[in-house]
Amino acid sequence: MEKTKTNESGFTETAQKAADWIAERDDFHVIGHFDADGLTSIGIIGQTLFRLGKKFESKAIKQLYADELDGIEKQNIIFLDLGSGQINTIREKLKGKNILILDHHTPEETGSAKTGNSESGSSKDESESIKSEPESEILEFNPHMFGIDGGTEISGAGMSFFVASRFGFNDLSALAIVGAAGDMQDYSHARLVGKNREILDIAKKEKVLEYKNDLRLYGRMSRPILQMLVYSTDPVLPNLTADEKNSLYFLEKLCIPLKTRDGEWRTYSGLEPSEKKALVSALINHCIANNLSRYKMKFLIGEVYELLLEEPGSPLRDAKEFATILNSCGRNNKPDIGIRLCMGERDQAYKEALLMWAKHKTALRTGIEFIQATGIQEKKNYLLIDGKDRISESIIGIIAGMLYSSNNIPHNKPIFALACDGSEKLKISARGNRDLVFKGLDLSAAMKTACEKVDGEGGGHKIAAGAKINAAKKDEFFKVIDEVMKQQMTAQGK
Ligand SMILES: [Mn+2]
């Protein structure tokens, strides 16, 4: 798809308008998304308001339902990392209020004028009058309006940052990178691109962040090396991920002590330069020998982002680990802890956040152990793992992905994973691989077809999809899946 030409001056002008909007007002209600990008957005705008001496309260929510907008008393409302997709609801529910939306999601099609520019959404330099509709008073700052891709080039935190930057608060750029990492915007190129790159340069100049090429495995800052290998998912390391015995053997061969003299587990960031080098080249050789695709190799070595103002060895020093900690706050229904972390608090909030992160990691580990103990069922046209009520539905998909890519599992069929959280609902996650998709696998279509039969909800992507059905309909569901898989896989012949 050809994208519209980037309108840089329009972008900066609207950022300035958003900054002016804030400067002219006081007493705000800030609502943001509860994931890492939303929480860092709240941190960036919250710190901006705080430094400007403005009053505000903030809240992070999972989804912007209409009733979320009931009972908001404040006159000035700022939506962060959400809002663009719900602009009609906002317009309707918050008549007479002053609204600022800083979001990067695809804007909702509205019948009425957008951001003072009614001409088919294309951005024009001279889009002067923001408040073209007197009753709605919505100022929306969204990259899509300027021909910038909100999926890969800038996150909600990035949009928030460009507003904060108008006040000169360029140190907040580090949080914007955490937000981008949280939304996996570094995923498709194994590095940040577009507007995110601009933020990186500002962060570097401000000396709040450093970026370099290095081992990109998750946990490089704070996970024991052994765990870093065993739990690696981007990429999944053949014969090492989810295989503790083999990972241990791999490290022993390298003669890298796993513990310090004091008996503490060593992390990658704590290794000597020579040890780092040895580990990295051994990993590269191992992956080549095990036929890891060149595409996945990109994720082994690539750009990493280090927050220089965080303590050495702290997980907050690595943008990805920081983002995961924030996500585990949201997932445990404690987004407020994440907000406090993003506002700069490092005492109590940090301790609590670490606890929630630890909970998440333990859940992953026990989940994998449970499946290893109970086994993977090989059906004719798919693989099946059953987490029963022992693996939470929020992580069953991650676990399926980790196990699936380990080499002991046949890769000629997709994997389905079940989780049942006590209720009569069954959550199903499915994962495939590129080769299968190339041959015709479409898990999203399969989930939809099967869900239609059993009155469930499902969808996703060709390579990964999810569904929720009534547990009693499990057999019926998989009867359909079996048929659809067979059809999709045999369609390859043509
Ligand atoms: Mn986002």
* Predicted local distance difference test score (pLDDT) of residue 129: 42
CB 179 within 8 A of CB 157: yes
Centroid of ligand 1 to alpha carbon of 261 (angstroms):
42
The span from the CA of 51 to the CA of 298, in Å, is 40
pLDDT reported for residue 134: 45
Distance from Cα 193 to the centre of ligand 1, integer Å:
15
DSSP 378: E
CA of 259 to the centre of ligand 1 (A): 38
Instruction: Give the domains, in start order, of the chain with CATH numbers.
Output: 8-175 (3.90.1640.30), 209-367 (no CATH), 375-493 (3.10.310.40)
Structure-token match 């955490």, residue found: 178
User: Rg (Cα) of the chain, in Å, rounded?
Assistant: 24
What is the distance in A from the centroid of ligand 1 to the CA of 244?
34
Residue 108's pLDDT is what? 74
Cα of 143 vs centre of ligand 1, distance in Å, is 12
Q: Residue 170 half-sphere exposure, CB side, CA atoms within 13 Å?
A: 13
Interval between CA 35 and ligand 1 midpoint (Å): 8
Determine the distance separating the centroid of ligand 1 and the alpha carbon of 104, expressed in angstroms.
Answer: 7
User: Ligand 1 center to residue 254 CA distance, Å?
Assistant: 40
pLDDT at 117: 37
The predicted structure's pLDDT at residue 254 = 95
Instruction: For residue 330, report the distance from its CA to the centre of ligand 1, in Å.
Output: 13
Q: Which two tokens stand for residue 442?
A: 């479409």
Of the chain, the end-to-end C-alpha distance in Å amounts to: 27
What is the C-alpha to C-alpha distance for residues 180 and 161, in angstroms, rounded to an integer?
A: 11
**223 Cα–ligand 1 center, Å:** 26
Q: Which helix H or strand E contains 97, and what residues bound it?
A: none
CA atoms within 13 A on the CB side of 156: 31
Among the residues of 375-473, which ranges form H helices?
396-404, 434-439, 443-454
Measured between alpha carbons, how far is 139 from 135 in angstroms, rounded to an integer? 12
Residue 468 phi/psi, 5-degree rounding, is -130, 125
Distance 156 CA to ligand 1 centre (A): 5
Q: What is the pLDDT of residue 407?
A: 59
- The alpha carbon of 31 and the centre of ligand 1 are apart by a number of angstroms equal to 13
Per-residue pLDDT of the chain (494 residues; tens, 9 = 90+): 444 578 999 999 999 999 999 999 999 999 999 999 999 999 999 999 999 999 999 999 988 888 889 889 999 999 999 999 889 899 999 999 999 999 998 887 654 433 433 333 333 333 444 444 445 589 999 999 999 999 899 999 999 999 999 999 999 999 999 999 999 898 878 899 999 999 999 999 999 999 999 999 988 988 999 999 998 877 889 889 888 899 999 999 999 999 999 999 999 999 999 999 999 999 999 999 998 888 788 889 989 999 999 998 899 999 999 999 999 998 788 999 999 999 999 999 999 999 999 988 888 889 988 998 999 999 999 999 999 999 988 788 888 887 886 656 788 899 999 999 777 889 999 998 878 988 999 999 999 999 999 999 888 788 888 899 999 999 999 999 999 999 998 875 44
Give the per-residue pLDDT at 463: 84
Cα 459 to middle of ligand 1, angstroms: 20
Ligand 1 center to 40 CA (angstroms):
10
- Give the long-range contacts of residues 471-477, CB within 8 A, separation 24 or more: 471/420, 471/424, 471/425, 471/426, 472/424, 474/418, 474/426, 477/428, 477/450, 477/451, 477/453
- ∠ CA 225-228-233, nearest 5°, is 160
Task: Please report the sign of the dihedral spanned by the C-alpha atoms of residue 459, residue 460, residue 464, residue 469.
Answer: negative
- DSSP-derived secondary structure for 168-235: T-GGGHHHHHHHHHHTTTTTTTSS--THHHHHHHHHHHTTSEEEEEEE--TTTTTSBHHHHHHT--TT
The pLDDT value recorded for residue 79 is 98
> Helix (H, G, I), strand (E, B), or coil: what is residue 57?
strand
- The answer to whether residues 138 and 91 touch, using CB atoms and an 8 Å cutoff, is yes
Residue 39 CA to ligand 1 center (angstroms) comes to: 9
CA of residue 161 to ligand 1 center, whole Å: 13
* Number of helices (H), then strands (E), in the chain: 17, 13
Specify whether the CB–CB gap between 200 and 211 falls below 8 A. yes
- Ligand 1 centroid–CA 81 distance in Å is 5
* Ligand 1 centroid, distance to 327 Cα (angstroms): 12
Residue from 184, 266, 274 nearest 229 by CA:
266
State in Å: Cα 280 to ligand 1 middle: 32
